[in-house]
Chain A
């Protein structure tokens, strides 16, 4: 975390350090706008002395200061992060994701970078060990194909990370292959996972899911494949994988059962997954609102 504090402007850094970092979920830096934070599920402005509701007391950064944060976060190695930047985000330190908004630089119909950075959203990862433990019986005994669903910021990644960890403690002790496309799940830094995901877990960071799974299926012989934020484009190859006798732990954006049912690929999704875990982000990350079976019957513990 110290590396992140180093890249933030002094005023912001000092103020953040006065807060309880475990409750800090997001910092939003916008050019010529007050700095805001998502602190224990509530939005505040950031003043020099911590969080505040008063806009007038908030720290305001100019465009250059916002841009500087991005440059420093790249650690003078834009070449390392250029692929991520072209997708609008940056994962400079284990698990911390910086979303970037600005003017896209387009070359040959492809976004190659982002200039004139207007805003940054720095998201802090949280490790809540044991948040899926209660549901291990429903999800891991026996191993099921699990889809975790919540709106953005609902704790999908936190829950999935813990589910992988809990699978290590279950009787089957499956080998789990994690496709960590955005390096949020394992938060690898220089080849070392920053989060505990058990001893039987292999991680491929920053590779597209289909590449990671296709190439590692034979070489790593996993029992379970885990990946974050699947999209409709991923559904067909996940279907193929599920037919190979491999179990899947995945997450997806959504809020209600209807959101899933209205997905244009619902039939395939329903073929793949045996369990649906809906998360509730109102009070804390990774809090389960309900676990449902294939037919959307609520399962009780």
Chain B
């Protein structure tokens, strides 16, 4: 019984550690998706002048990115004045307050000006997202592995305490 309990504690803590670590990976993927979306968006705006609902409809990527696109599509369908509500961003757990504000700002400027100005604004956000991606990669490299290991060690520590 004790052994089962110890195994359960170790695997539980490891799972939590890897869960936190996975968030760092998801953040990297999310900013990857954002950058890909920005470059695609610039083409769609300048060449075809596509409406945003068509742009969002064909957007693909990770779970969090698709979630944002779906929210934006819903807002467009119901003719809301904001593409993304700030509370929608709370669903994405790995974003900090500053990153949420940046994303909110990005979706807020979309579709509100002509092609030339829109491209300039997207260029500006692209640079910010690129920096975010670099930071996320760095965090994943340093903290991602750390939290994974920390989970195992915490499990072992609790197991030893139980013994």
Contact = CB atoms under 8 A, between A and B. Distances in A.
A82 B54 CA distance: 17
B81 A79 contact: no
Contacts of B112: 71, 76, 78
Most interface-central of A3, A71, A82 (chain B CB within 10 A): A82
Contact of A78 (B53, B83, B113): B113
Interface string A70-109: 0110111111101000000000000000000000000000
Contacts of A79: 45, 49, 111, 113-115, 118
B49 A7 contact: no
B78 interface: yes
B51 interface: yes
How many chain B residues sit at the interface, stated as a range, is 20 to 34
A64 to B, nearest CB: 11
Contacts of B81: 68, 71-72
B114 A77 contact: no
Contacts of B54: 190
B114 A75 contact: no
A79 B53 CA distance: 13
A167 interface: no
Most interface-central of B83, B110, B111 (chain A CB within 10 A): B111
Interface in A214-243: none
Interface in A46-68: 68
How many chain A residues sit at the interface, stated as a range, is 10 to 19
A82 B46 CA distance: 12
B76 interface: yes
B50 interface: yes
Interface string B27-63: 0000000000000000001000111111000000000
Nearest to A71: B81
Nearest to B107: A76
A80 B41 CA distance: 13
A256 B28 CA distance: 70
Interface string B78-97: 11010100000000000000
Contact of B111 (A6, A78, A112, A190): A78
Interface in A1-38: 3, 6-7
A79 B121 CA distance: 13
B51 A82 contact: no
Nearest to A68: B81
Interface string A107-125: 0000011000000000000
A77 B52 contact: yes
B79 A7 contact: yes
Interface in B103-158: 110-115, 118
A75 B49 contact: no
Interface of A: 3, 6-7, 68, 71-72, 74-80, 82, 112-113, 190
Interface of B: 45, 49-54, 75-79, 81, 83, 110-115, 118
